[in-house]
Structure 1
Amino acid sequence: MFSVSRLTTSMHSLKARLIVSALLLILILMPLIGFGLNDAFKQQVKSASLNELKAYVYAILAVTEVNRDGIFMPEVLLENQFNVIQSGLYAVITTSRTPKEAASNSASFDAKFVEKTDSTATSSHLPPLNQVQRIAWRSSSLLGIEIPKSLPNPVKGQGQFSEVTLNKQPHLIYSFSVSFELPTLDNKDVKQSDNRFPITIHIIKDQTEFQQQVSQFTQQLWRWLMILMGLLLVIQMAWLWWTLKPLSSLETELNAIENGKANQLTHEYPTELQAVAQQLNTLLSTEQNQRKRYRNALSDLAHSLKTPLAVIQSQSDLSAESFEQVSYINRIIGHQLKRAQSAAGSAWHLGVPVVDVSDKLVKNLPKIYCRPLIAIEQTVQRDAIFKGDQADLSEILGNLLDNACKAAKGKVLLSVTHNAQSLIVQVEDDGNGIDKALQAQIFERGIRADSYKMGHGIGLAIVRDLVDSYHGQLSMGQSDLLGGARFTIIFKS
């Protein structure tokens, strides 16, 4: 099951961050582009429809004649869709006069107006849309269609583009208002305003074609955007692989150095990583030279101390107590020198195949412990790597196997396994084991377990200190397989 901790761990990876960033960029940017293009196309189609309706308005306006007898329109319009019943393209002319005008001198004109318009209308009576707006004329394509009670009524000289429901279907409508100047009468009582006749021309078009264009464009747009998103994902993954390839090479080389398969970084890296690679190579060379000088100095110190101690021990008049103390000092110096020589603190880049060391020990130790003959068996995974110094590994395995041979009756078993997290070393024998009362104290400094014939002395202390220097875990118990003691060491990878 996916967990928050797993997500947090993966987000520490530079590769994961780049992949997530690329995905977010694509998944957010592409839909925004899609919505923007789709909206722009809708506006463009609407603009085209508006221009088309405007052209129809001017076409209707060009053939419209108005006098005091009414509005005169051709029986057949040039645009054939206005002549076909329910064709989807309709035209309506409405007139709007204020109630005051409707009640004044224009009353006689209204009667004539209605009489004249009856000849071009689809019914014997054209009902008013409201108190001030009436239908003056409508195209033949509106036969059998109920006109909405309220139509747009823009100010004179202005147009209005909107939507209207006709026959329960959405339609686009463009309304344009104009005013015709009527012929002048000799009657001086007629006001100047009565000589102007305002009308509004409405062009109505079905939205089916508009919606089809938008729908087809939307489908094609998102189809291509999905294809583009897929291509971008492939390109992004290829780009990320190419960009991060030097980091993968650096990781591979570092693993090789850590496992002892290489001593330097040898690949050619980009400019940004080349300086890091050079610094790492300098650090590795410096550390190797320093460790070599340090070990040479320790060897010189050990050699210089060994001779004075040997001279002191060779004195004939040396008391037994003094001789024991000198021997004790000799052991302590040897122990501390071996501990100081450990490369655990600085040998992170070293790697030693365990089998190379274990094979030599298993081959040579039976020659020492031949009476009684001790059989040493090993079960070592051939690819197990000890990430440290070979001398340290030899010291650890040598002391554990040496102690096991001293305590064993006839058999010692060495087992080495590893996984991605740790290296596990176990040494078991078929001896009498170690008293449980001493197991809790045996790793304390100065405690000596004499339950073995030749004892666990300074060798076990060396093992403990070396294991601690590698941040490993050393434990002991009873062997389930052989019945004697069992020492277990775990080194974390």
Structure 2
Amino acid sequence: MSRPLPSLSGRLVAAALLWMLALLLIGGAVLAWAFRDSVEREFGQRLDAMLRAIIAGTEVMPDGALVVNRPLGDPRFDQIYSGWYWQVSSPGGRLLRSRSLWDQTLTTMPGGDEVFFHQHQGPKGENLLVAERDFLLPDGDGRVHVLIAADLAEVAAGARRFNLLLASALGLLGLGMAVAVLIQVRYGLGPLRRMMADLDAVGQGERPRLSGAYPREVAPLAAAMNAVLDKDAELIERARTHVGNLAHGLKTPLAVIGAEMAASPDAGVIKTQLDAMRRLIEHHLGRAAAVAGAGRNPGERVAVAPVASDIAAALAKIFAERGLDVRVTVPDAACFHGHAEDLAEMLGNLMENACKWARSRVRVSAEGIGDGVVIVVEDDGPGLSPQQAASAAGRGKRLDEMTEGWGLGLSIVADLVAVNGGTLNFGTSDLGGLAVRLHLP
């Protein structure tokens, strides 16, 4: 036994939640990266401003010594190992540095006229963002290298705070969206649940078919189900009719047999009644088999020509002593959408009856039309009068009651044509006999 598949609502919710989670994770990662990049850029701009302030405050004393005579105004440059440092190197190798560096020296990179940013490890192992460049003093005799550095922990702390806030906001957003998805799926699948309830009511016999109003996307499914239910109801009604007819038909033979058994039994009378009962049973069993065929699913497209040719070959052998000319002129493109057994049953009965009544010729032709196929079976027998043809085309007329010798076969054909949605018409053939026109959509 195969395992049941997950529910439709579960599949929809799971797919929506997975997609939403992926979008939130990607969006959160992009926002976090953009925020950190923005903070680092702003941090670098602050260092660049401080670097320019140091350059503006650097002077050459009369004795040629360099001094920085303007404080930067940030007390962290005076706190030892605070993470904020500056350093100025004179052309002669003399080194000026902030009090926060104490006795440490930061490694400098080859300078230029433009500010160069890079990361470097500080005196306490902290991760520093360093900005440095060279410049020329008006009264100096060489290039001065200036450097300023700051601990990136401030940037990291700001990024952590933002990430925590971002994660909280995205988490609340995801929770709200998940609730919205659950509500949407439950609301969207409401018509299907209503259809299930209607089907349960049909199964319990509370109603014969689905009668609710459904959305445009579900309405075709409801219509298809109603078509199946209507078809089943038709089959059941046909079966009830056959059973009723059979029961009614058996009453008289049984009454006659009972009367004979009560008196002096007459074997001839009993045999006649038994034959009548057997014919009734065969008749209704045959019609029931035709009705049962309607309960099957539609088959593939069946070519008419091979089926008709096989039947013609068999009938030529059966009626060989009469020398009948059974001719099949059916194009290869003519097809019947259904079961090959149904087509063989209909053609076999029609062609057999044509052979029974024909004098010498039977002709089977077909043509494909827009919505199906038309098959014509003709013979050169006595045919039908216009009144008989009109009566045969009348709804509800049993073909085997029209003319003696027609038998059960044509009655079965009528049932098979009806359950396959086709029509059966009778007319006069140019061969002089009967022409049966079978239209199967």
Normalised TM-score (structure 2): 0.55
Aligned equivalents of 1:67 and 1:235: distance in 2? 73
Among 46, 58, 61, the alignment partner of 2:55 is 61
Residue 153 of structure 1 is matched in structure 2 by 110
DSSP-derived class of the 1:41 partner: helix
DSSP-derived class of the 1:152 partner: coil
Aligned equivalents of 1:53 and 1:310: distance in 2? 119
Residue 37 of structure 2 is matched in structure 1 by 43
- Counting matched residue pairs gives 290
Among 146, 151, 162, the alignment partner of 2:119 is 162
DSSP-derived class of the 1:166 partner: coil
Tell me if 1:230 matches 2:195. Answer: no
Tell me if 1:317 matches 2:266. Answer: yes
Letter in 2 for 1:34: G
CA deviations over 1:274-332 (Å, ceiling 9, x no partner): 23223333442343245324532553355345545655776642169959966994996
Paired residues of 1:309 and 1:330 also in contact (CA < 8 A): no
Letter in 1 for 2:23: L
Residue 337 of structure 2 is matched in structure 1 by none
Residue 88 of structure 2 is matched in structure 1 by 93
DSSP-derived class of the 1:267 partner: coil
Distance 1:259 1:73, change over 3 A: same
Aligned equivalents of 2:175 and 2:61: distance in 1? 67
DSSP-derived class of the 2:122 partner: strand
Among 257, 269, 272, the alignment partner of 2:217 is 272
Residue 257 of structure 1 is matched in structure 2 by 202
Letter in 1 for 2:114: G
Shift of 1:248: 0.9
Residue 193 of structure 2 is matched in structure 1 by 248
Distance 1:251 1:200, change over 3 A: farther
Paired residues of 1:153 and 1:200 also in contact (CA < 8 A): no
Letter in 2 for 1:140: R
DSSP-derived class of the 2:34 partner: helix
Among 142, 145, 148, the alignment partner of 2:101 is 142
CA deviations over 1:339-363 (Å, ceiling 9, x no partner): 879999969xxxxxxxxxxxxxxxx
Aligned equivalents of 1:159 and 1:71: distance in 2? 26
Distance 1:76 1:65, change over 3 A: closer
Distance 1:30 1:309, change over 3 A: same
Residue 383 of structure 1 is matched in structure 2 by none
Residue 443 of structure 1 is matched in structure 2 by none
Distance 1:256 1:342, change over 3 A: farther
Shift of 1:249: 0.9
Letter in 1 for 2:122: T
Aligned equivalents of 2:243 and 2:270: distance in 1? 29
DSSP-derived class of the 2:78 partner: coil
Superposed CA RMSD in Å reads 3.9
Distance 1:235 1:271, change over 3 A: same
Paired residues of 1:156 and 1:179 also in contact (CA < 8 A): no
Aligned equivalents of 1:63 and 1:235: distance in 2? 61
Aligned equivalents of 1:321 and 1:283: distance in 2? 45
Distance 1:313 1:71, change over 3 A: farther
Shift of 1:143: 1.9
Residue 435 of structure 1 is matched in structure 2 by none
Letter in 1 for 2:100: S
Paired residues of 2:54 and 2:68 also in contact (CA < 8 A): no
Normalized per residue, the structure richer in helix is 2
Distance 1:303 1:320, change over 3 A: closer
Aligned equivalents of 2:76 and 2:64: distance in 1? 21
CA deviations over 1:348-386 (Å, ceiling 9, x no partner): xxxxxxxxxxxxxxxxxxxxxxxxxxxxxxxxxxxxxxx
- Say which is worse superposed, 311-320 or 246-255, in terms of deviation: 311-320
Residue 232 of structure 2 is matched in structure 1 by 287
Specify every segment of 5 or more residues in structure 2 that has no aligned partner in the other structure, as ranges. 297-441
Tell me if 1:178 matches 2:178. Answer: no
Specify every segment of 5 or more residues in structure 1 that has no aligned partner in the other structure, as ranges. 96-109, 118-135, 184-194, 348-493
Distance 1:243 1:137, change over 3 A: same
DSSP-derived class of the 1:162 partner: strand
DSSP-derived class of the 2:214 partner: coil
Aligned equivalents of 1:285 and 1:324: distance in 2? 38
Normalised TM-score (structure 1): 0.50
Among 199, 209, 216, the alignment partner of 2:161 is 216
Paired residues of 1:264 and 1:284 also in contact (CA < 8 A): yes
Letter in 2 for 1:273: V
Distance 1:317 1:342, change over 3 A: same
DSSP-derived class of the 1:271 partner: coil
CA deviations over 1:72-126 (Å, ceiling 9, x no partner): 323451424365232432111235xxxxxxxxxxxxxx6xx45xx4xxxxxxxxx
Distance 1:155 1:198, change over 3 A: same
Distance 1:82 1:93, change over 3 A: farther
Residue 350 of structure 1 is matched in structure 2 by none
Shift of 1:174: 1.5
DSSP-derived class of the 2:71 partner: coil
DSSP-derived class of the 2:25 partner: helix
Paired residues of 1:164 and 1:173 also in contact (CA < 8 A): no
DSSP-derived class of the 1:218 partner: helix
Distance 1:228 1:309, change over 3 A: same
Aligned equivalents of 1:312 and 1:337: distance in 2? 25
Shift of 1:238: 1.1
Paired residues of 2:59 and 2:69 also in contact (CA < 8 A): no
Aligned equivalents of 1:212 and 1:158: distance in 2? 25
Aligned equivalents of 1:293 and 1:320: distance in 2? 32
Letter in 1 for 2:174: M
DSSP-derived class of the 2:218 partner: helix
CA deviations over 1:240-299 (Å, ceiling 9, x no partner): 111111111111111221222221222221111123223333442343245324532553
Residue 368 of structure 1 is matched in structure 2 by none
Letter in 2 for 1:139: S
Paired residues of 2:86 and 2:148 also in contact (CA < 8 A): yes
Shift of 1:165: 2.7
